[in-house]
Amino acid sequence: MKPLDPRLLRYARSARSYLALTVGLGVVGAGLVVAQALLLAHALASVVHDGADLSDVMGLVAWLAVVVVTRAAVTGVQERYAHRAATRAIGELREQVVARAAALGPRWLAEGAGPGVVTLATRGIDALEPYFVRYLPQLVLAATLTPATLAVVLGLDWVSAAIIAGTLPLIPVFMVLVGQLTQGRSERGLRVMQRLGSQVLDLLAGLATLRALGRERGPAARVRELGDAHRVATMGTLRIAFLSGMVLELLTTLSVALVAVGIGLRLVGGDIDLVTGLAVLVLAPEVYLPLRQVGAHFHASTDGVAAATQVFAVLDTPVPAAGAVPAPDLRTTTVLMRGVGVRAPGRSVHAPAALDLTVTPGRVVALTGPSGAGKTTAVAVLLGLLRPDAGSVTLVDDHGCETDLADIDLASFWRQVAWLPQRPVLEPGTLADVVTAGAGAVRASDRDAAAALTGLDLVVAGLADGWSTPLGRGGTGLSVGQRQRVALTRAVLAPAPLVVLDEPTAHLDAAGERVVLETVRALRDAGRTVVLVAHRASLVALADDVIEVHPEPVVAEVRA
């Protein structure tokens, strides 16, 4: 990423106003630095050379105090708005990354980008804050304050200006050399952090299974190894940053010393007056300061720059064109899947392969097959979340008109679908709010009837606060089976003619299984279409249509 990548201004609108404010404050700061140097030089020269007392220079001292206070206020304003702009810009980028990842679909996430995007959208983007708060302001000051102060020094003393102009380019040269090495280490550190995040997410997802098998401590060594690798990478970056800071400090100190020695010799020889000499001595460190601060804060921004590069890589990934045809009424529409095949990520197989499926309104369709055959993938294709590598999905309305699902406005299609995945997504809120989410205005009697159908009424009766019980993210506060009943109740209440249930009995006992069977019967009796992913014989026996899903190896094309 460049020091100021134009894509940052394009994707994060908050950065535009902040950059304009920073430039304006930088110009004001440059004027204040020059005024402070000239006022201080005249005051000291009057006391040292002319023998003036405090009362004679009180006016200069008062103006000097005003300039110092104003300069501190400008710095405070910049700091305050830097934190605000950083928070807003990071929020905008995070929202766009999540939205783009969702638009790219599960295939893109499954091909290795998913865990990295999770880490990037959480801890990764947060590393941009030092870039906004420390690095970017100093970069703007280097572009405004340094030329302005150097021009003033040139007007006061061309010899000192020549010394500064000759030594000033050494700082960017060392910054580039050190920055390239630091940036490479930061990118490696971010990759290690993403791998660590992926390992931890996988561990948390399968912790229940590992604990049941007595293997919950097995991945600890690997997680510890990745954590140590991230620590070593971070400490290596900081070590280089501290060394680079020392080099820049030494370089600027020697440069200012050259200016000071030249002024001292010429003061002795009478070739320069005291006011000019003092003004140049005060301004000389200010010429080097912005560039020195850019180098000092560069290590604080490298992690953010590496994260921003990956953010732009996600945001620049093209999204497949969406359809614009409104979805027909699914109450009278048949969904046809013809020869659908999807290549499994990381495997040379189609799962599912050559799948033919007809979903007729008002019927229960069950998808069966061994694990890994592609049943859940077939559901994703049916819902438009995944585009097949072979075959087609079409909607046939009651007039016989066929429309490819790729041409359908998916938002209008999804409004007619209630989906219960293997791991239901439950938002934080009260139990009543979670159950009725997306169902519009629901009467308490209808809610209670749906809960009685799914067995959720027994769960509510056992809670101290009943329907007002607060739930955390993902249904925290309830068991896995209770969460499944909450999600099932929400699917029943949703005003959707098509209900898709992916392994609805996976986390339920025999009693819970009977509840699911009764729920499916009730949905069918209400005229709603149900698509099941089922392993249990009871669910398969309930279905009107049973479709066997199977995988097939990918046949490589032979070119003549």
CB atoms within 10 A of CB 124: 26
- Read off the pLDDT of each residue in 211-223 and give the average, rounded to a whole number: 72
- Distances 532 to 94, 298, 550 between C-alpha atoms, Å: 35, 55, 16
Count of alpha carbons within 13 Å of 228, Cβ hemisphere only? 6
- Provide Rg for the chain, Cα atoms: 34
> By mean pLDDT, which of 54-63, 199-208, 217-226, 506-515 is the weakest?
199-208
- Residues 107, 413: Cα–Cα separation, whole Å: 20
Q: Please determine, for residue 384, whether its predicted confidence score (pLDDT) is greater than 70.
A: yes
Phi, psi (rounded to 5 degrees) for 366: -115, 130
Distance from CA of residue 452 to its chain's centroid? 41
Distance from CA of residue 317 to its chain's centroid? 15
- Distances 331 to 209, 287, 362, 418 between C-alpha atoms, Å: 40, 74, 8, 13
DSSP strand pairing (529-533 vs 429-430): unpaired
Q: Please determine, for residue 299, whether its predicted confidence score (pLDDT) is greater than 90.
A: no
The residues near 199 (Cβ < 8 Å, ≥ 6 apart) are 219, 222, 223, 226
List the alpha helices (DSSP H) in 12-128. 14-48, 58-108, 114-119, 125-126
- Residues 279, 39: Cα–Cα separation, whole Å: 8
User: In which band, very low, low, confident or very high, does the pLDDT at 394 lie, cut at 50, 70 and 90?
Assistant: very high
Domains (range + CATH), the chain: 6-315 (1.20.1560.10), 334-553 (3.40.50.300)
What's the confidence (pLDDT) of residue 337?
92
Of the spans 196-200, 229-233, 339-343, which averages the highest pLDDT? Answer: 339-343
pLDDT in tens, 107-157: 677 665 555 677 777 777 777 777 777 777 777 778 777 888 888 888 888
What's the confidence (pLDDT) of residue 241?
65
Tell me 325's DSSP state: B
- Residues 422, 385: Cα–Cα separation, whole Å: 15
Strands laid side by side in the 498-502 sheet: 417-420, 498-502, 529-533, 364-368, 545-548
| Cβ–Cβ under 8 Å, residues 272 and 263 | yes
How far separated are the first and last CA of the chain, in Å rounded?
44
Query: What's the mean pLDDT when you consider all of the chain?
Result: 80
Per the listing, tokens 């103006």 go with 63
The β-bridge partners of 355 are 340
- Read off the pLDDT of each residue in 159-166 and give the average, rounded to a whole number: 86
User: In which band, very low, low, confident or very high, does the pLDDT at 190 lie, cut at 50, 70 and 90?
Assistant: low
pLDDT in tens, 307-354: 777 788 888 888 777 677 888 888 899 999 999 998 887 678 888 888
pLDDT in tens, 466-516: 888 888 877 777 877 788 888 888 888 888 899 998 888 776 677 778 888
What's the confidence (pLDDT) of residue 498?
92
What's the confidence (pLDDT) of residue 319?
77
Residue 482, SS3 per DSSP:
helix
Count of alpha carbons within 13 Å of 498, Cβ hemisphere only? 26
Of residues 285 and 476, more confidently modeled: 285
Q: If we measure between CA atoms, which residue out of 104, 17, 32 comes closest to residue 73?
A: 32
DSSP strand pairing (498-502 vs 417-420): parallel
- Residues 57, 42: Cα–Cα separation, whole Å: 9
What's the confidence (pLDDT) of residue 358?
92
E strands, 360-504, in order: 364-368, 390-396, 402-404, 417-420, 429-430, 470-471, 498-502
What's the confidence (pLDDT) of residue 197?
67
Q: What single letter denotes the amino acid at residue 237?
A: T
The β-bridge partners of 420 are 501
User: In which band, very low, low, confident or very high, does the pLDDT at 237 lie, cut at 50, 70 and 90?
Assistant: low
- Residues 120, 129: Cα–Cα separation, whole Å: 14
Q: Please determine, for residue 198, whether its predicted confidence score (pLDDT) is greater than 70.
A: no
Q: For residue 486, count CB atoms less than 10 angstroms from its CB and return exposed for 0-12, middle for 13-18, buried for 19 or more.
A: buried
Q: Please determine, for residue 560, whether its predicted confidence score (pLDDT) is greater than 50.
A: no
The residues near 216 (Cβ < 8 Å, ≥ 6 apart) are 207, 210
Count of alpha carbons within 13 Å of 65, Cβ hemisphere only? 6
